[in-house]
Structure 1
Amino acid sequence: MMMGWTILTIIPAILLISDTALFPLLPLNSLSAEGLFWLTSSGTAPYGVATVLLILLLSYQRLGRAEFISLFLTISLGMCTTLGLNHYLKPFFNEARPNAVWLEQQYLLNTENFYTLSKAERKAQMTASLERLEHAETDMVLSPLVKQHWKNEVGFAFPSGHTLFAITLTMIASYYLLLAGNLVLPTILFIWSITMGFSRMLLGMHWSQDVLASTVLGGVISLFSLFFIHKTFPYGAKLYTDLSAKLRLKQLTLKP
């Protein structure tokens, strides 16, 4: 799990150090862009709720009752922490999104004025900017799904709430699943987390530093949530002790 977290952290760190921007590299009217939209939607309400429920259902089929209760409590704590932290940090850092900066470079938006408006007013101004974009001298063309995404995502950039959500959920679920001997679902979750970060950058929603910071924060929140639940409730400690004993017994049995 820690190796996976390290890999997830290294990728946006390389992009940040090399000063590589992924937006606007991808044609946003392509099937790939629409695929990334649906991927990123798995971390957006209400689809994000469905994602959590699906992971809980799959975990319920693979864990014992005590272990599942511990997983449920840890995910609940982790998700509440990420939501609260994301809500506090965005207005604190007041960072413009890459797509808003790009629109400003095309003289279609004023970010200084844009982020002083209410959310409803920002949506209206973004809609007007995108209408002018259709007649501007630029190669940028948005698919209807991506255009709607830009209209809805008008908040600040830092941190990436989607990445924070994906990393926290992946780390917590993978901890319990790996202890239960399941490798397939954690692998799928880590791939989902990586592509979630890429989708946010390619769609013009976040900078590499946003994804990097969210990856680090997601890991810290996961470790804190696991530690807190294990200290507060006996299920986690019992799970670790029982599975460790079974693993040691299996290793002794396999020795010639």
Structure 2
Amino acid sequence: MILGWFVLLIIPGILFVSDASLFPWLSLDSTAAETLFWITSTGTAPYGVATVLLILFLSYRRLEHSRFFSLFLAISLSMCTTLGLNHFLKPFFNEARPNAVWLDQHNLLNTDSFYTLSKTERKIQMMAAVNQVEHANTEITLAPLVKQHWQHEIGFSFPSGHTLFAITLTMVASYYLLIAGNIWIPGLLFFWSIAMGFSRMLLGMHWTQDVLASTLLGGIIGLISLLVIHKVFPFIWSISSRLAPRQIKANQ
């Protein structure tokens, strides 16, 4: 699991050190761009909830009840921590997204004033800017799904919440599944995490440093969540074990 995390760190790390930018490398009106949209949607509400539920369902069928309960607690703790950290860091760093900077460079958006607006006003301005892309003298054409994604994602860039979500979920779920001897689900989660990071960069949602930092933070959150649950879980399990016989007697 730790080795997999290092591999996940190396990929954006190489891109960061080489100062490589993946946007606007990909044609955003292609089938590949639409595929990346569906990959990134697995980390977007409400589909992200369905992703967590799917992982829990697959894990439930492969883990003992005690380990599954521990997994459930660890995922709950890590997801709450991820959401809270992402909500705090984005306005703190106040970083513009790559697509917003690109629109600014083509005089379709003013990032200086854009991020001072309310969420509703930002959506209106982004919609107007996106609708002008096809009429402007630019090298980019947006597929309908990508256009919809640009209009929806109007928050700050750092960190990548989608990458945080994917890495944290992968780390926590893989730990328990690997202990149970399951390899193929952690393997799929590993490649899903890689695809998530690339989708965020290629679609113009995040800079390389956003994905790199989120991969680092996601791994740390996952490890800390596992540590906390392993320290607390025996205590919770002992209490539930004591209460269960009492509940049975009460029902009798």
Same fold (TM over 0.5): yes
> SS where residue 27 of structure 2 aligns?
coil
Instruction: Provide Cα deviations, 1:154-191, integer angstroms capped at 9, x if missing partner.
Output: 00000000000000000000000000111100000000
Aligned pairs for 1:235-250 (under 5 A) are none
Residue of structure 1 in register with 2:35 after alignment:
35
State how far apart, in whole Å, the 1-side matches of 2:104 and 2:233 are.
51
> SS where residue 36 of structure 2 aligns?
helix
Where do 5+ consecutive residues of structure 2 fail to align? 238-252
State how far apart, in whole Å, the 2-side matches of 1:209 and 1:80 are.
23
Residue of structure 1 in register with 2:54 after alignment:
54
Residue of structure 2 in register with 1:198 after alignment:
198
Q: Tell me the amino acid that sits aligned with residue 63 of structure 1.
A: L
Q: 1:73 and 2:104 equivalent? A: no
Q: 1:132 and 2:132 equivalent? A: yes
Offset of residue 138 of structure 1: 1.2
Aligned pairs for 1:203-242 (under 5 A) are 203-234=203-234
Residue of structure 2 in register with 1:187 after alignment:
187
Residue of structure 2 in register with 1:253 after alignment:
none
Q: CA RMSD in A?
A: 1.4
State how far apart, in whole Å, the 2-side matches of 1:135 and 1:65 are.
58
Offset of residue 25 of structure 1: 0.5
Offset of residue 128 of structure 1: 0.8
State how far apart, in whole Å, the 1-side matches of 2:196 and 2:76 are.
21
Residue of structure 2 in register with 1:117 after alignment:
117
State how far apart, in whole Å, the 1-side matches of 2:236 and 2:174 are.
14
- How many residues are treated as equivalent by the alignment? 238
Q: Percent identity?
A: 70
Offset of residue 139 of structure 1: 2.1
Q: Tell me the amino acid that sits aligned with residue 200 of structure 2.
A: R
Offset of residue 236 of structure 1: 11
Where do 5+ consecutive residues of structure 1 fail to align? 238-256
Residue of structure 1 in register with 2:146 after alignment:
146
> SS where residue 227 of structure 2 aligns?
helix
TM-score (norm 2): 0.93
State how far apart, in whole Å, the 2-side matches of 1:92 and 1:74 are.
27
Residue of structure 1 in register with 2:102 after alignment:
102
CA contact (8 A) 1:60 1:68 kept: yes
CA contact (8 A) 1:67 1:236 kept: no
Q: Tell me the amino acid that sits aligned with residue 2 of structure 2.
A: M
Offset of residue 235 of structure 1: 8.6
> SS where residue 57 of structure 1 aligns?
helix
State how far apart, in whole Å, the 1-side matches of 2:67 and 2:45 are.
27
Q: Aligned pair in 2 of structure 1 residues 235, 177: CA closer, same or farther (>3 Å)?
A: farther
Residue of structure 2 in register with 1:85 after alignment:
85
